[in-house]
Each structure stands twice: as structure tokens, then as C-alpha cells.
Amino acid sequence: MQLLQTMIMAAALTSSVNMAAQQSGEKTSRLSLGGYGEAMMTRNFYSDNIYRYTRASDHKNDGSHGRFDLPHVTLNIGYDFGHGWTMGSEIEFEHGGTESAVELDADEAGEYEAETEKGGEVALEQFWINKRFGKGEIIVPVGATNKYHMPTEFFTCYRPEGENALLPCTWHQVGVSLWGRVKDWRYEVQFLSGLDSERFGSHSFVHYGATSPYEFKIANNYAGSLRIDNYSIPGLRLSVSGYYGSTFKNTLRSIGTRYSDTRGNLAIGAFDFMLDRWNWIVRGNADYAHLSDHAQITAFNKAFPTHTGQDGSPSKHQPVAKNAYSVGIEAGYNVMSQVEKYRDTQKLYVFGRFEKYNAYAAGNQKSAYGWCDNTRLAFGLNYYPVKEVVVKGEWSERFLKSEYNNEPSVTIGVAYCGWFL
């Protein structure tokens, strides 16, 4: 074993913050300051009516709608205390807000719902103290997007849709991590607090299960994750990752004897890869998840009063699937590599992406959630005038089952990712 590290973290690490720890020994300053941000404009050529899935034929000819968005803006701060001890943190603003939102819920007859996605006004997405015995980096181990979620690390304007719809992204968990590297193999094992099944939903599966509406993360249940990366072939990374843990009873609510045997065990298996060679970047992922006791979790979540004035529960009051999956692949070619004047200073990737995902692949009431089964195509450009800045543009379309309407859109945006200090 060439490397062994331990850490205590109050949220998942991103590769950008960890870069500060990795580079701190090479910097004249012990302080590292950086971040990343995205600004997007989208025109969606389909209806935004809340009944566009339940009454699809009524909204087939609805007009388009547009949106401006700041998906993520972060400030990363790191410090090297010396003797292998480092600190890292990340403050993140999602969609330019405070992680609370008012939304129209299609499953509740268009009722307005005020939803708190995370306690506090600003999200402290990361805080960790690390003891380093060698050089290395730490990542959230499950799936591809959690590791490569910087806007300069994927081609689409928004994060790859399939994994982002099904899994926590990025994953924020309190826990302990051990990782290391042996020759061409890198491993990581984590011990975490379990997800909260009260936060699961029909079209989001377990996406919101890692968040907490309280000022702390409940840990009545525990979980573990594992990731293994292989770098034997130059320019190619092959990775497998997994997660297992109980999700039910991770709540402040009284459960009662009716649910005494309910566990809500969640198992996730994932494979992903990246090829960066010959002026090509090719990335792919395949994820599958199984949730036990989904029927009992559905009954428990839907039993809460739906009127927030009476209950205020963070539950989505929606059916939860038994199985969910996501597969995707994207490829981009750097055409600037053929222009001698710019090949060393600029990049222009022409890319395409295909993905298929279903947040409700199996479970009770599956027929009512056929619109959760999505096939998505995207084509576009990524232009890097400098290494830290990317200008993006894409056309995409979701292809839904015949009883629903397809969802084409056009998005343009600009993003950065870098260190200021």
C-alpha cells in the first residue's frame, strides 16, 4: 500500500477542493482559494404546465418557455496547517438561491408547496479535516458524475441528466473515508450515515435522500460505499463503485409497530469510464439501484397530510420505485487539434451524448409514472478559450413514451473552474 489517508468530513469532497490539498505542498502560500460557477440560458420547446404528463394530449401544442439559471456558484477555501494536516471547505449557492423553493407539484393537483431542501440559508457543502500520509485525492465514490461534476469536466450544459435525476449529486454525507493506491489501482471505502427514505420521490428516486431539512443529519442508520479505479491502459480509466445501507427510520418521526420490520435497504451498483486520448474524450456510465420495502416506504410517506400548513413534513408524499437505472455515453473531438495556431492554447470539442434513465423502472403504480422513463440525445459544442473557462451550447431532446410529448430544448452558457490563490 503506497497511500493511506483518513478524514472527517461534514460533506462530500469535490475534486476541486481536494486539488488544493494535493497541490498545497507545491504552493508558496498555505491558503488556497478557488471555485467554479455556471450561467445558463435555456429555451424549452414544450409545455411547462403541471399536467403535461397526466393530461399530455391537452398540452401537445402548448408554447415554448425560457429560463435563465445559475446552476452552481461555489467558493472553495483550503489551508495547509503543515505536517500533513489540511482543511478544505466549499460554500455553494445553487440556482442563485438559499436552497429553499416554492414549486407546483403535479402529484398534488397543482398545489403550491414550499420546500426546504437543506437547513440554513447558505449551503456549506463541504468541510473536512484531512491527515495526509502521501499525495492523493478523494472523491465521492458512487457513480461517474459525483466525481466529475465540475462544469469543465462534462460536455452538456447541465450535469449529465440520468445520474443527476436518480442519485444524490453531489453527494453530501458525514462519514469517514479510507483510500489509497497500489500501482495502477486506486481504492476508496467510506462509512456514512444512511439516506433518508422520507425524502425519496417518484421522479427523483433517492436524489434528495442525502439532504436534511434540520440543522444536523440524522444517523439512525448507517451505510457503506466502495470505489475502485484502474489506470492500466494509458489515457483510460475504468471504475466500479457501489453503495449499501438502510434508509427507513432515518427520521425524527414516530414510526409505530406497523413498520417495525421495514428497513428500506438501498443497493447501488455502478460502472463508469473515461478515455482521454487521440484528441477524443469519451465518457460512459451504467448505474442500477434496488430499494427494498418500497411499498411500505410509499405508504409511510403518503400517510402524512399533504397540506404543509398542517404537517410541514419534508416528505414528497409520492410513490417510490423498487428499481431505477441510468446508462449514458458521450464523446467529443477537439477540432482545434487540427489547427496549428491554436492547438496548444485553445480547445473546441464537438460532442454528442446519449442516455437512457428511468427513476421508476419497477414498483407499485408503475403504469402511472411512464413519463419517468426517458431517452435523451444531445449535440453541441464546448469552447475553451483558456483552460479554466468553457463556453457551451447544445441542442437536446427527451424522447418519452408515445402517450407523452417529447421535450426538445436549446441551451447556451458559460462556466469557469479554477484557483485564484
Largest distance between two CA atoms of the chain: 72
**pTM for the whole thing?**
0.81
User: Is residue 351 within 8 Å of 328, Cβ to Cβ?
Assistant: no
Phi, psi at 149, each rounded to 5°:
-105, 5
Return d(Cα 222, Cα 245) in angstroms, integer: 6
Provide the residue type at 332 as one letter. Answer: G
Cell numbers found for residue 221: 442508520
Return d(Cα 51, Cα 360) in angstroms, integer: 18
Residues whose CB falls within 8 Å of the CB of residue 385, separated by 6 or more in sequence, listed in order: 346, 391
User: Is residue 362 within 8 Å of 392, Cβ to Cβ?
Assistant: no
Task: Name the 3-class secondary structure at 4.
Answer: coil
Burial letters for 237-249: b for 16+ Cβ neighbours within 10 Å, e otherwise? bebebbbebbbbb
Spatial CA neighbour of 419 closest among 33, 25, 19, 13: 33
User: Is residue 16 within 8 Å of 416, Cβ to Cβ?
Assistant: no
Return d(Cα 185, Cα 238) in angstroms, integer: 10
Q: Sketch the domain layout of the chain as residue ranges.
A: 5-419
Quote helix, strand, coil % in the chain, to nearest 5. Answer: 10, 45, 40
pLDDT by position in tens, the chain (length 421): 333 333 333 333 334 444 433 443 445 578 888 888 899 999 999 999 888 998 899 899 899 999 888 888 888 888 888 777 877 777 878 877 666 655 555 555 555 556 666 544 556 555 666 665 544 434 568 999 988 888 989 999 999 999 999 998 887 777 788 888 999 999 999 888 889 998 899 999 999 888 777 777 788 899 999 999 999 999 999 999 999 999 998 877 778 788 888 999 999 999 999 999 999 999 999 999 999 999 999 998 888 655 444 455 677 888 999 999 999 999 999 999 999 999 899 999 999 999 999 999 998 888 888 999 999 999 999 999 999 999 999 999 999 998 999 999 999 999 999 888 8
Fold of domain 5-419 = Porin (2.40.160)
Structure letter (DSSP) for residue 194? P
Spatial CA neighbour of 210 closest among 142, 300, 144, 306: 142
User: Is residue 376 within 8 Å of 399, Cβ to Cβ?
Assistant: yes
Neighbours of 52 (CB within 10 A): 19
